[in-house]
A and B are shown apart, each in its own frame.
Chain A
Amino acid sequence: MTEFLQHLVNGVSLGTIYALIALGYTMVYGVLKLINFAHGDVYMAAAYAGFYIATALDVRTHPTAGKAVAVFVGSMVFAGALGWAIERFAYRPLRNRARLTALITAIGVSFLLEYGFQLPSFQAQGRTFEEMLRGWGWTVPGWLDALVSFLPASFPPGPTPRFFPEPFVRVDWTVLGGVHVSNYDVVSFLVAVAFMLGLQWIVFRTRFGMAMRAVSFDPKVAGLMGIPVNRVIATTFVLGSVLAAVAALLVAGSRPRIDPIMGLMPGLKAFVAAVFGGIGNVPGAMLGGIVLGLAEEMVAGYALSSFRDGIAFAILILMLLVRPEGLLGRVTVEKV
């Protein structure tokens, strides 16, 4: 029984993370009918943004609540800006083209982030570059120098994992005779639920949410009704990316290893969660995330721990066979 409860706690804590990422997928799919492959990599980039801010603020030696908030806010702002930039420069120019074009671009953006972050740092590259230019008798332009020195010294971070500093002191409690719960679990659960409720409120109770649902229903008609479609879509990307940043920091705080491909698997699994709940459906994504987290913990805990990463895809394939519209999704007929 204790073991079961422990798996339950771990599963819910993992599931809230999946749910937060899945919300970004599902919202973007809702308004654009595009699988935003780069979403998992926004999550990764947000973790690194948090890492650099935390390093600059020296969180490792002197953690305070104020700094933790600063790391959170800074990383969320960064992720929002990144999401906005991806939408503006990679997806918006393609919006009226074939769907496949946007999908390929999304995959390209995802790989660019993953492998771009694995490059050696610009400072190291810059030195080689500078020597090369010197050899030809040229000098480095001043603006480029200024740009590189503005970035953190170790950016891009390269393929080796980094360790995220603990934003606050870890406290472990033992409850119900043997179930371990840490303050990280509690805080991340509360933060995740708070953000999900906030999103629910935005989507169903505000004017912007109404605009978003209208664009999701039919972008062309929504535009004719005077809804600023571009702005709504851009804001949706920003919202999704901010939620991904929250998920990234909650993960990085409790499991401190971060690396440039950390977004790949959680991204794919969160997509599975979104499909499971019914893609385009906000409560469905939350439900799907929790169910997926629980299923993964339970199967890994009781049966096959080495096939942990395969479970999500088994669930996806089963779901596609049995109920392709997802748990809470509605069957839609494609109209010509």
Chain B
Amino acid sequence: MRRARLVLRSVAPFLIALPVLWLAQGASPPDVSIVLVAIAVNVILAVSLNVVNGFTGQFSIGHAAFMAVGAYTAALVTTGMQDLQLLGLPEGSSDALVFFLALLAGMAAASVAGLLVGIPSLRLRGDYLAIVTLGFGEIIRVVIENTKALGQATGISGLPPYTNVVWAGMGVVATVVMARRLLLSTQGRALLAIREDEVAAEAMGVDTVGWKVRAFVISAAFAGLAGGLLVHKIQLVTPRMFTFVKSMEVVVMVVLGGMGSITGSIVAATLLTVVLEWLRGVDQYRMVIFSLLLIVLMLTRPSGLFGTREIWDALPRWLRRRVDGGTP
């Protein structure tokens, strides 16, 4: 019984979201749907980065690199299997299955990259992670620009336009459910303990390095998902999409929303995406505004909009108990 309830709590959001997204997909014209997908991708990025930067208290600034790994892997899978008809399925569901597999492959590749970067740098204090992720982002770009199979600097174009509001929305639901379930679990407590005091956490028997690496790998996997979704909307993948500027955008979203708050990440990602669309005309000021915003936030309100609070903390007590299933 209890087990069934737990499973239901993870599955229910998907079941509720599916018809809603279906309707939204039908109702939105193409230009709106592009903005919606962009918002969804940024929400996935921000929430997944929050797992490392917010829950675990480490500091990664190379999220775009994992996004690139996921995007290129997914793009290779879909372009490679574009003409393939699977198992006599009708064309629509065969495409959907291929895309699903491509996204999973992207997540797997990104998490392997996360493991390779995380193991050496997370054995030490968080400062090193910042530098290594920064360097890794640059290396990934150099490698892509020098690899023939990945189209070098021009990238791969003509990807099938699989991503729509439903796919992107389901990605958001998956990410948010993952982050929330992680935060409320025993594992999540371990991450929070590391954030609050690494030495004390270790003294209490928390395997700090192991948990940091795991959080980092999970975060990288979802960045890969975001990358895969994005490139199948705009039907193009180039190394220039995954620069520093992109990583920095995500960091600003997490910091603005409040490190450690899922709600904050969602709100800040939505807000910033809309503002960025609106600021397209003055692109050159974008990074200057971002960096100023980051400094001013740190000097005046380092906890961001929400701090570590969540929207569901504001629910009445009896309802919250039902949603969380008895956790205090």
Please report A residues at the B interface, Cβ cutoff 8 Å. Answer: 35, 37, 90, 93-94, 97-101, 103-105, 107-112, 114-116, 118-120, 265, 268, 271-272, 275, 306-307, 309-310, 312-313, 316-317, 320-321, 324, 334, 336
Contact = CB atoms under 8 A, between A and B. Distances in A.
A307 B200 CA distance: 41
A233 to B, nearest CB: 18
A313 to B, nearest CB: 4
Most buried by A among B128, B142, B199, B255: B128
A6 B302 CA distance: 51
B302 A97 contact: yes
Contact of B135 (A104, A112, A119, A312): A312
B239 to A, nearest CB: 14
Contacts of B298: 94, 101, 104-105, 108
Given A94-B299, A336-B199, A336-B200, A108 B291 contact: yes
13 contacts: A103-B59, A104-B294, A107-B251, A108-B291, A112-B291, A115-B287, A268-B131, A268-B138, A306-B142, A312-B135, A313-B138, A317-B132, A334-B199
A111 B248 contact: yes
B127 interface: yes
B86 interface: no
Contacts of B136: 313
Nearest to B300: A93
B288 A316 contact: no
B291 A306 contact: no
Given A100-B57, A310-B142, A93 B299 contact: yes
Contacts of A271: 131
B287 A120 contact: no
Contact of B120 (A105, A268, A321): A321
B302 A112 contact: no
B128 A320 contact: yes
A312 B131 CA distance: 12
Given A93-B299, A336-B200, A111 B132 contact: no
A111 B287 contact: yes
Interface string B280-307: 0000110110111011001100100000
B123 interface: yes
B151 interface: no
Given A306-B146, A313-B132, A321-B120, A115 B291 contact: yes
Nearest to B131: A271
Most buried by B among A108, A317, A336: A108
A109 B295 contact: yes
Given A90-B295, A313-B132, A313-B139, A320 B59 contact: no
B130 to A, nearest CB: 6
A97 B123 CA distance: 23
Nearest to A117: B288
A116 B288 contact: yes
Nearest to A105: B298
Contacts of B285: 119
A109 B194 CA distance: 27
A112 B292 contact: yes
B66 to A, nearest CB: 16
B65 to A, nearest CB: 12
B294 A107 contact: yes
A135 to B, nearest CB: 17
Interface in B248-287: 248, 251, 255, 284-285, 287
